[in-house]
Amino acid sequence: MQSSFDLLALLLALAALFGYLNHRLLKLPLTVGLLVLGLAGAVAVIALNAAVPQLALRPAIRHLLGAVNLPEALLNGFLSFLLFAGALEVDLGDLFATKWTILVLATIGTILSTGFVGGALAGISAAFSLGLPLAWCLVFGALISPTDPVAVLLVLKRVGIPRELQAIVAGESLFNDGVGVVLFTLTLSLATAAGGDAANPLRIAELFLWEAGGGALLGLALGGIAFLMMRSIDDYHVELIISLALVTGTYSLAGRLGVSGPVAVVVAGILIGNQGMELAMSATTRANLETFWLLVDDILNALLFLLIGLEFVALHLDRRAIFAMLVMIPIVLFLRWLSVALSALPLSRRLPARFGSFTVLTWGGLRGGLSVAMALSLPASVYKAPILTIAYGIVVFSIVVQGLTLEWVARRTLPHARTVALGEDV
């Protein structure tokens, strides 16, 4: 217990120090600054360890990060709170106005991207002699294809794009997690020869329906119960506790039932953030709830992006994997554009500057901690290290380069569209 507390204290101390340095020197958005400084710290540790190996700094840091268990912390810890906090800010009207485009992108788009990226990596693997079988390349495609809601929603808070397009970017990132996790589980079971009848198309359809549909129904049911409880009282202390119980209880129960926890939490968060805020809360409760979840969001994001930066120390780098990663970054971007265009083209008539919108959806489809967590959760094998290296490089590029330049890209690809900040009326 003491070691866990010491670890949390160290992470918070580093987050505070790096946050201060970023504010004074780099002037980057907090999460991007923490990621950059975390990477810089990791590189410094690696260099010092190489210069003075007697210090054994790198093994010590690896041991420390191993105690965090990032996949477990994110997939079963951080993610539920971050998704709920993000879902509270989504406008239900905007979501329904673009529901079919969001649905197609979150399902068909993610499936297409998984296949395209997996096939591309198979070719790159052969070119660089990585020795990755096609099945493992598809595992990589599944873990890198979902856009990360944490990274996407952070960027949307500061980047102005047309409201309809904004709703699509946010909605896709919130709902394609469940699809991505199902695809990851399926492809991993096939790659490890543990799939059984998983390749049966009917079984795949059944799995998707149960995971996504069951998660949505669970989130709606538990969110409805929380809504009724909040509406019957006016005490923001109790209502804050109800919101915490809703997040943890929904995610935990979803895991027990075998349905999508991310989808369940997102649906519950959208319900509370719209009907709950409007009909079940006083102005005082609403203000306190928003402030509380904004604080939770900021703290967990700070810790998450710091961990992603520091995780560089734990990577087992291989020159061939690094070259493959550099080649895969533009390929993944192009295949993201292709999957977006093929899946959304029939439904995109109302989008401003249709192909400009596809470009914004591509550049705004950020990858983040979810992809890193799934890569880290892979079972030990000779394929894990190159997959993790390539995924890590794509995630860092996505957050730092795409995240910082999305507004620039939006203004040049949608020159005649009115840009608005998140939450403003068109």
Quick one: how far is CA 99 from the chain centroid? Answer: 20
Average pLDDT over residues 299-305: 84
Whole-number Å distance between alpha carbons of 144 and 52: 36
Q: Give the lowest-confidence range in 29-38, 122-131, 134-143, 273-282.
A: 29-38
Count up the domains in the chain and report the number.
Answer: 1
User: Residues 323, 128: contact at Cβ < 8 Å?
Assistant: yes
Query: Is residue 398 domain-resident?
Result: yes
The DSSP call for residue 379 is: P
| CA proximity to 364, closest of 337, 396, 338, 389 | 337
CATH of the domain at 313: 1.20.1530.20
Going by pLDDT thresholds of 50, 70 and 90, the confidence category of residue 419 is very low
Q: Is residue 396 part of a domain?
A: yes
CB 210 within 8 A of CB 134: no
**pLDDT computed for residue 349 by the predictor:** 63
- How confident is residue 337, by pLDDT bands cut at 50, 70 and 90? very high
Q: Is residue 139 in a domain? A: yes
Q: What is the pLDDT of residues 70-123, one digit of tens each?
A: 677 777 778 889 889 888 988 888 888 888 889 899 989 999 999 999 999 999
Could you report the per-residue pLDDT of 118-163, keeping only the tens digit for each?
999 999 999 999 999 999 999 999 999 998 776 676 676 666 677 7
pLDDT of residue 424: 40
Residue-wise pLDDT for 238-258, tens only, equals 999 999 999 999 999 998 998
pLDDT at position 422 is 38
Stretch among 97-101, 118-122, 200-204, 274-278 having the lowest mean pLDDT = 200-204
What range does the domain containing 113 cover?
68-413
- Angstrom distance (rounded) from CA 84 to CA 87: 5
Q: Which pLDDT belongs to residue 293? A: 93
Q: What is the mean pLDDT of the segment spanning 301-311?
A: 84
Residue 359 lies in a domain: yes
Q: What is residue 97's predicted lDDT score, i.e. its pLDDT? A: 85
Asked whether the predicted pLDDT for residue 179 surpasses 50, the reply is: yes
Predicted confidence at residue 144, as pLDDT, reads 95
pLDDT at 281 over 70: yes
Confidence of residue 220 (pLDDT cuts 50, 70, 90): very high
pLDDT confidence of 308, banded at 50, 70, 90?
confident
Q: Is residue 279 part of a domain?
A: yes
Residue 161 three-state SS: strand
The tokens for 98 are: 């673009």
* Mean pLDDT estimate for the chain: 85
Is 96 within the bounds of a domain? yes
Sequence-distant (6+) residues with CB within 8 A of 218 are 250, 253, 254, 257, 259, 264, 267
- Does residue 398 have a pLDDT over 70? yes
pTM confidence score: 0.85
Residue 6 falls inside a structural domain: no
- Describe the crossing of helices 384-397 and 319-344 by its angle, rounded to 10 degrees: 60
Taking the C-alpha atoms of residue 64 and residue 389, their distance in angstroms, rounded to an integer, is 20
